[in-house]
Amino acid sequence: MEGHVAQAALVHQSSAFARRPPPLGTSRALGSNVHTVNMTDYGPHWRLLRRAFASVALLPGARQWALEALVDDLTSASVAARENEVSPSEIFARALFRLFSLLCFGEELEESTLWAVREAQVGIISLAVKLSVFNLLPKIVLVVFWRRWVQLVRLRRRLDDLLIPIIRARSRNQLAVLRCRSMPSYLDALLVVELEEEVRRRRLIEEEIVNLCSEFLNASTETTSAALQWIMANLVKQPHVQDKLVAEIASVMGANKSMIVGEEEVKEMEYLKAVVLEGLRRHPPAHLLLPHTVAEEREVSGYVIPEGAVVNFAVAEMGKDEAVWKEAMEFRPERFMEGGEGEGLDLTGVRGIKMMPFGAGKRLCPGMGMAMLVLQYVVANLVWRFRWVEVAGKEVELAEEPGLTVGMKHPFLARLVPRTL
């Protein structure tokens, strides 16, 4: 799909295309009233939930805490490995899950609880993908794949058992949280949401909050870790890009020999942003947006969209459009610098759509700003701490593995060489 068509629908007719189709079978079976930011239909409830999601702040202390844990894990893996060879994909995912769980719940979870939640989340995603045929043939699936279905339901109950005590404890301590001005969290925002219903206003029930917290953790961790994996794989494969990025960091840091590249420094790094944008263009974490629908017939760029039609947008194909991107299959961050075809790119799509890894219009990802900051911050610090070297005989392969997020079919290996400042 061409970008101008997506803009005509998602931006110029944003309200009409902000609707969601009815939830599919797995969503209905696992969801509690299907109250999630992604799946709630456009309207007052969705606005309240989106506002709560967008209220989450990524505080500097949380970023640095997660970064130090990530660097420690990478260092330990490198020291323990033969010739410092590391497969960092799962290390990335665990570090980001640790960060986003802190933002979600406002406190560090006990290690056993943290990884039990992670295990349940990963299990639910894996089984939901395997049972996607349930959305078309639910009765057959319940007969043929009943063991998987039982396992999926058990995992969902396990998630309730893990998260509901956390929700109750945070709810009891809301006044103390406000008084001591502890880090505001997504959970804090959800605890004060009031939904306007026909007869009365009501707070979210615990199972709905579990759904929303689960969505927050999945959406933030899986997409961000996939994007980080692709970006770092390309930096390993193209050392000249990595060297250019390190030179920019050194220039901005100047006489500051700190091992931590801070947010203020990150904001000054144009090539760093270009590297992240190129990663998102070439390897968007999702190849398709979540489906949209229209309540009445619409016309978009000469196409008639009938009432009730389900519409989707091919994100990956936009990033490969040779009419927009020169040598589109090449990883070349310079295209986002001055004079390049991506110069001044507007990720919101308001000024035009050339790529849209975060969607566009009313359904633009509410976590876009946070995701961009996390990616730039982590990438800058990873290449500032280590030189990422391709392992001879185990070259980086950029084949994709389809799924809810598009990861690497063959997770990359790299040799980590600590830098001396």
81 burial via Cβ count (<10 Å: 0-12, 13-18, 19+): middle
Selection from 213, 227, 236, 217 nearest residue 165 by Cα? 213
How far apart are alpha carbons 157 and 152 in whole angstroms? 9
DSSP state string for 238-284: -HHHHHHHHHHHHHHHTT---SS--HHHHHT-HHHHHHHHHHHHHS-
User: Which pLDDT score, from 0 to 100, does residue 183 have?
Assistant: 62
User: Token match 């990883």: residue?
Assistant: 331
Token digits of residue 234: 């390309």
The reply, when asked if residue 365 is annotated as ligand binding, is yes
pLDDT confidence tier of residue 136, bands split at 50, 70 and 90: low
User: Which pLDDT score, from 0 to 100, does residue 109 have?
Assistant: 93
Strand partners, 417: 387
How far apart are alpha carbons 247 and 93 in whole angstroms? 27
Using an 8 Å Cβ cutoff, are 189 and 52 in contact?
A: yes
Each residue's pLDDT tens digit, 221-274: 999 999 999 999 999 999 999 999 999 999 999 887 788 999 899 999 999 999
How far apart are alpha carbons 376 and 370 in whole angstroms? 10
What CATH number has the domain bearing residue 139?
A: 1.10.630.10
Selection from 283, 291, 267, 273 nearest residue 359 by Cα? 291
| Mean pLDDT, range 101-126, rounded to an integer | 92
Residue ranges of E strands in 116-238: 194-196, 201-203
| Mean pLDDT, range 319-342, rounded to an integer | 96
Selection from 34, 40, 42, 17 nearest residue 313 by Cα? 17
| Mean pLDDT, range 18-25, rounded to an integer | 76
Q: What angle do CA 326, 329, 330 make, to 5 degrees?
A: 80
User: Which pLDDT score, from 0 to 100, does residue 2 have?
Assistant: 81
3-state SS, residue 296:
coil
**pLDDT value at 131 more than 60:** no
> Hey, what amino acid is at 55?
S
146 burial via Cβ count (<10 Å: 0-12, 13-18, 19+): exposed
Whole domain around residue 28: which residue ranges? 3-418
More confident residue, 183 or 392: 392
**Does the CA dihedral 138-139-144-148 come out positive or negative?**
positive
Selection from 212, 194, 191, 192 nearest residue 202 by Cα? 194
Tally of domains in the chain: 1
How far apart are alpha carbons 228 and 94 in whole angstroms? 12
Selection from 403, 16, 23 nearest residue 211 by Cα? 23
**pLDDT value at 206 more than 60:** yes
CA 141 → CA 27, 149, 285, 327, distances in Å?
Answer: 15, 8, 28, 44
Most confident of 42-46, 106-110, 281-285, 302-306: 281-285
Which H helix or E strand runs over 304? strand 303-305
How far apart are alpha carbons 267 and 274 in whole angstroms? 12
| Mean pLDDT, range 171-196, rounded to an integer | 78
